[in-house]
Amino acid sequence: MTAVLHSPTPAETVARSAEGLAGVDPGRVVPNPWPGATEAELRIRAIEMAAALVAEEPNYSRLAARLLATHITAEAAGEGVTSFSGSVAASHAAGLLAPTIAGFVARHAAELDALVDDQKNDLFEYFGLRTVYDRYLLRHPETRQVMETPQHFFLRVACGLAASVAEAADLYALMSTLSYLPSSPTLFNSGSRRPQLSSCFLLDSPRDELESIYDRYAQVARLSKYAGGIGISWSRVRSRGSLIRGTNGHSNGIVPWLRTFDSSVAAVNQGGRRKGAACVYLETWHADVEEFLELRDSTGDEARRTHNLHLANWVPDEFMRRVEADAAWSLFDPKEVPELTDLWGSEFDAAYTAAERAERYVKQIPARDLYGRMMRTLAQTGNGWMTFKDQANRTCNQTAKPENVVHLSNLCTEILEVTSDGETAVCNLGSINLAAHCTDAGMDWAALDRTARTAVTFLDRTIDLTYYPTPEAAETNRRWRPIGLGVMGLADVFFRLRLPFDSAEALALSTRIAERIALAAYDTSAGLAEQHGTHPSYADTRAADGVLHPDHWNAANSPEWDAVRARVARTGLRNSLMVAIAPTATIASIAGCAECIEPPVSNVYKRETLSGEFLQVNKYLIRDLVGRGLWTSGVRDAILRAEGSVQDLDLPSDVKQLYRTAWEVPQKALIDLAAARTPYIDQSQSLNLFMATPTIGKLSSMYAYAWRAGLKTTYYLRSRPATRIAQTTVSATLPTIGPDAEAVACSLENPEICEACQ
């Protein structure tokens, strides 16, 4: 007799998925069948019901994720996929994967299939797995059904980067445990027919010529098409009113060009997976800087607005010194002072003041007036990021030779690499999940070291495997071989170890984490240089002269650094740059941890993404309150009414201190944490700053403090409307304030009364 296989009922599926999840009642998420309901539709309804209960008990997120994993497995099986090797073969046949990975997997099918561990799906939170399902899993071009499971996805990415089964196993082990994740372009494209694995591209300003400007447009379009984030300088293009000698007319300045660029960026949507994105950098002395700061305004002449571009100020120290001294600042047409763009530090200062003495400027304004306008732009738009030219160049390993200059950062302000007219800087990113390396007893330092070493090895590998959309990117990346290893989940570590963000213990731990990662990165890169040779431009770096990045702060005085320094002296380095902290907005969601180095914006909030709307909760807070018998419906509702804050609730003081949101943590603490880890970050860090109700005075003080603290870059200014429970887009309205100059003067000359950093 043939046995009849029993198909589990919805109740049985939910009950099995809920096993081991404390606080979860399976009966609450069993859907009532309706006429004609399919098994898949009932699963989806159960997932929705579980996700709706997350605010009551965080483990419902795990239940929803388990149910979704079951749904994904069933969907893939509908496409005939029941194994990893079968997934790769089917995806290759559908034209999604390259012959190289298909051949590799076919040759080692049994070994690779044995690596797949579906139990690792239990590590996902619902939002993370839903993000993977909606955005990353390969889908059949016609049916749009998934052709791989989450674990197949991780192993496929690993195989796309690996040279052996053992290497694939090492990377898969990190990814499947959510201990480390490469950036989105690598996750999207590893093993694909067009494997563009790099995260970001930096383009120098076009020359002040029509052909050069349009060539830059074309380069950006090709780079953006394959999911690259764009940073581009516009400092060499002449300003408004500049004489055009060929026609005896006058230039319209940079705004019309950026308006055209804005439309181009909007039109190229990164292969249909996410919107194109670019940030334009402008030097503070450019005569069009005031119009530049208006590009994102919601009022004024729409023909002079660029709502798709992000904006960043490339600020020399001389400007900040004149702001502090309440001195005049001169604005120049770059056509008249072309030398300024390629100078920094004392050489820039000398050339700038010489141009002033020669009265080559377009006009002069009080430095504080311009600084106040910068602060107003930040307050109104979150944009106009403050990035510091001299500190970026002074400490960059690539700028040992005068001809090598950092002209800008990237879309997210964590990459600092040299560019020129023929050099497009590239960076390959990945982030360590610190939460996965932390126990109640503290950090697992040995595991952190191992993860960093594996990550550096595979980030270096991407340089050789990636598809380069332009020859300028290919040549530069292979010449310098920079990578950007970052972190995420710092807040998870602090919560687990009960360290408030502004505590001395948190500062010490954050700095130690950064140092351990840098040590592992330098040592691994030296080992790779021993095996494969140094990067071609090693002789042009500070490291070749015996200066490692921490030496700029005298922060490499230990036996561990002595050993690394000696090894580098023997072998050189495979990579010119190694550490950069990226925002990790998407991969942190996959890993189920806090983004990069930030405190959470709320303890309970709704997040809107391309995948839909998701309720997010601080699981550490809820578990803390449950353990103390304080998690009641009244407390939950009070937190929701307070938009995720616990500060006005009747809770123990240590709970309120630990679970302050990004709005409630002193911004001085975030700047101090960033400054303390800076010696060990040879690129930079995407540092968002938060202010519920920004004012010119508070911002003036805060960004001046960041500059004095030695930060290289800052990122968004987040204002309170940016993350209210009912809305998550970045927006802000500037409160009524006094005159800009007056507010700036107050904050700079009386810093003790400014609340910005307190």
- The reply to whether 101 falls in a domain is yes
Question: What is residue 701's predicted lDDT score, i.e. its pLDDT?
Answer: 96
- The reply to whether 151 falls in a domain is yes
Beta-bridge partners for 310: 279
DSSP string, 370-381: HHHHHHHHHHHH
Catalytic residue (choose from 189, 393, 410, 433): 410
At 439 the three-state DSSP class reads strand
Contacts of 66 (CB under 8 A, 6+ apart): 17, 18, 121, 122
Closest CA to 541 of 403, 415, 398: 398
- The reply to whether 618 falls in a domain is no
Q: Which helix (H) or strand (E) holds 426?
A: strand 424-433
- The reply to whether 15 falls in a domain is yes
Question: What is residue 725's predicted lDDT score, i.e. its pLDDT?
Answer: 35
Please report where in the chains the tokens 């732009």 appear, as a residue.
Answer: 377
pLDDT averaged over every residue in the chain:
91
Instruction: Give me the number of domains the chain comprises.
Output: 1
Query: What is the mean predicted confidence (pLDDT) over 586-595?
Result: 95
Closest CA to 235 of 206, 202, 263, 264: 206
Quote the CA–CA distance of 721 and 732 in Å, as a whole number: 6
At 183 the three-state DSSP class reads coil
| Ranges 71-85, 337-351, 539-553, 594-608: which has the least confidence | 594-608
Beta-carbon count within 10 A of 305 CB:
18
Active site residue 414: yes
- The reply to whether 331 falls in a domain is no
Closest CA to 391 of 687, 682, 757, 690: 682
pLDDT category of residue 35 using cuts at 50, 70 and 90 = confident
Q: Look at the alpha carbons of 267, 475, 585, 310 in this order and tell me if their dihedral is positive or negative.
A: negative
Which amino acid is residue 453, in one-letter code? Answer: R
404 Cα distance to chain centroid: 25
Does the pLDDT at position 430 exceed 60? yes
Query: Structure tokens of 46?
Result: 């159960």
Does the pLDDT at position 47 exceed 70? yes
pLDDT category of residue 724 using cuts at 50, 70 and 90 = very low
Catalytic residue (choose from 414, 417, 595, 643): 414
The dihedrals phi and psi of 433, each to the nearest 5 degrees, come to -85, 100
- The reply to whether 469 falls in a domain is no
Q: What does DSSP assign to residue 443? A: E
Question: What is residue 335's predicted lDDT score, i.e. its pLDDT?
Answer: 94
Q: Which helix (H) or strand (E) holds 202?
A: strand 200-203
Query: What is the mean predicted confidence (pLDDT) over 685-689?
Result: 97
For residue 135, the enclosing domain spans: 10-177
Quote the CA–CA distance of 30 and 722 in Å, as a whole number: 36
Question: What is residue 743's predicted lDDT score, i.e. its pLDDT?
Answer: 66
Closest CA to 363 of 319, 341, 338, 333: 333
Query: Structure tokens of 200?
Result: 């970001």
- The reply to whether 40 falls in a domain is yes
Query: What is the mean predicted confidence (pLDDT) over 723-750?
Result: 47
- The reply to whether 97 falls in a domain is yes
pLDDT category of residue 730 using cuts at 50, 70 and 90 = very low
Quote the CA–CA distance of 458 and 182 in Å, as a whole number: 9
Beta-carbon count within 10 A of 499 CB:
18
Crossing angle of helices 504-532 and 559-571, in 10° steps, is 20
> Whole-model pTM above 0.75?
yes
Q: Are residues 594 and 588 in contact, defined by beta-carbon separation less than 8 angstroms?
A: yes
- Tens digit of each residue's pLDDT (9 = 90 or more) over 440-486: 999 999 999 999 999 999 999 999 999 999 999 999 999 999 999 99
pLDDT category of residue 265 using cuts at 50, 70 and 90 = confident
Please report where in the chains the tokens 């380095």 appear, as a residue.
Answer: 573
Does the pLDDT at position 726 exceed 50? no
Query: Structure tokens of 248?
Result: 């005896």
- Tens digit of each residue's pLDDT (9 = 90 or more) over 221-262: 988 887 678 999 999 999 886 777 666 677 788 999 999 998
Query: What is the mean predicted confidence (pLDDT) over 131-146?
Result: 96
Catalytic residue (choose from 159, 200, 396, 412): 412
